Amino acid sequence: MVPFAGWEMPVQYEGVIPEHIAVRTDAGVFDVSHMGELEVEGPRSHDFLQSVLSNDLDRLSDGDAQYTLLTNESGGIVDDLIVYRLSPFRFLLIVNAANREGDFEWLKEREIAGSDVRDVSDQYALLAVQGPHSLELLGLNDAPAFTFAEGMVDGIATMINRTGYTGEEGVELMVPADDAAELWDRVIERSVTPAGLGARDTLRLEVCYPLHGNDIGPETDAISAGLSWVCALDKEFTGVEELRRIKEAGPDERLTAFVMEERAIPRQGMPIDGGGEVTSGTHSPMLDRGIGMGYLPAERAVPDAELTIDVRGKPRRARVVKKPIYKREAGPSGGD
């Protein structure tokens, strides 16, 4: 167990690698109750959120979810989150645990009449069940990604979200905090493998999902981070002028994925020769080699560019790859 954003979190149960493999080939369950939940309600809640979130809220109907960013005036990323449309006048934001209070204050300061932001994090628990067999093992019907519905798992009423942070099919189950322990037990009884924070990190990095605080933050803009696909630059929201300018001019740096060409494991903070540093790095269980991401000058952020990473004083060769680093259907993109 390790402290994480004020929570005691399991890094691993059986081991990072077996848990990782279970999620890629079968199903694993993560207790992600540390995530924050904010509710925004009121006749003008849509207008308010449309003005502070980067993605286009008009694309959502009731029952839809969307990956989006809370941006600052310089186009930096206050947080990345998923917004759920509960009704035309009520939205749920699931945010990073470490940013829960900061996001709440950010929204409260900008709130407009007719929209009310509430932090409901302590009322809810969240279990992410992820992997190709996750729906089948839970006895749930498939549904399109980024949708949600009310449902039942073994008699426990839950919000079933077709979302996740692993690159695999799966759901995130949101239940009242009092029901969490029982839901966990029921899910485990259905032969889902318990998985910890360690595997959560290796899984998300293989598919190049950025981690707020490592790969993205208030000082990194959404375009350089490769997140222009969640920025509706044709609408008005905080920082949009700066993001339009960066998009137009082309970013100086890009968040880039790489795989090691030599045996070595890149870690956060290691310098990259010629500028930049590793923002996330680990050992990829699927590729059986070191992988990572970092900001590179745009001209070097192209597939097959050769990099040298300073691994505790030793130069180690790496190669830029297209994101994601690991892709199930097509096989790993980082092979020799």
Query: According to the binding rule CB under 8 A, does residue 264 interact with another protein?
Result: yes
Residue 20: what residue type?
H
- Interface stretch with another protein, choices 85-93, 98-106, 218-226, 279-287 (CB under 8 A): 279-287
Query: According to the binding rule CB under 8 A, does residue 309 interact with another protein?
Result: no
Among 33, 121, 202, 238, binds another protein (CB under 8 A): 202
* Closest to another protein by CB, 17 or 298: 17
Packed helices 16-25 and 197-206: angle between N→C axes, nearest 10 degrees: 50
Provide the minimum distance between the beta carbon of 16 and another protein in the complex, in angstroms, as a whole number. Answer: 4
Q: Burial letters for 306-332: b for 16+ Cβ neighbours within 10 Å, e otherwise?
A: ebebebeeeebebebbebbbbbbeeeb
- Interface stretch with another protein, choices 11-19, 21-29, 158-166, 226-234 (CB under 8 A): 11-19
Among 5, 7, 10, 17, binds another protein (CB under 8 A): 17
Provide the minimum distance between the beta carbon of 214 and another protein in the complex, in angstroms, as a whole number. Answer: 14
- Is residue 222 within 8 A of residue 243, CB to CB? The reply is yes
Residue 181: what residue type?
A
Residue 247: what residue type?
K
Query: According to the binding rule CB under 8 A, does residue 23 interact with another protein?
Result: no
Restricted to residues 159-178, the positions that interact with another protein (CB under 8 A) are none
Among 76, 131, 198, 251, binds another protein (CB under 8 A): 198
Separation between Cα atoms, residue 18 and residue 205, nearest integer Å: 16
* Closest to another protein by CB, 155 or 313: 313
Separation between Cα atoms, residue 6 and residue 162, nearest integer Å: 27
Among 282, 301, 321, 334, binds another protein (CB under 8 A): 282
Provide the minimum distance between the beta carbon of 261 and another protein in the complex, in angstroms, as a whole number. Answer: 14
The 211-250 site mask, x for binding another protein (CB under 8 A), equals ----------------------------------------
Separation between Cα atoms, residue 212 and residue 76, nearest integer Å: 11
Separation between Cα atoms, residue 37 and residue 132, nearest integer Å: 27
Among 235, 267, 322, 323, binds another protein (CB under 8 A): 267
Separation between Cα atoms, residue 79 and residue 75, nearest integer Å: 11
* Closest to another protein by CB, 24 or 162: 24
- Phi, then psi, of 48 in degrees rounded to 5: -60, -50
Site size with another protein, rule: CB under 8 A: 18
- Is residue 133 within 8 A of residue 35, CB to CB? The reply is no
10 Å Cβ neighbour count for 138? Answer: 22
Query: According to the binding rule CB under 8 A, does residue 265 interact with another protein?
Result: yes
Provide the minimum distance between the beta carbon of 230 and another protein in the complex, in angstroms, as a whole number. Answer: 29
Query: According to the binding rule CB under 8 A, does residue 207 interact with another protein?
Result: no
- Phi, then psi, of 32 in degrees rounded to 5: -115, 35
Provide the minimum distance between the beta carbon of 314 and another protein in the complex, in angstroms, as a whole number. Answer: 8
- The closest alpha carbon to 38, from 105, 110, 118, 131, belongs to 118
What SS3 state is found at 90? strand
* Site of interaction with another protein (CB under 8 A): 11-12, 15-17, 198, 202, 263-265, 267, 282-283, 285, 288, 290, 312, 314
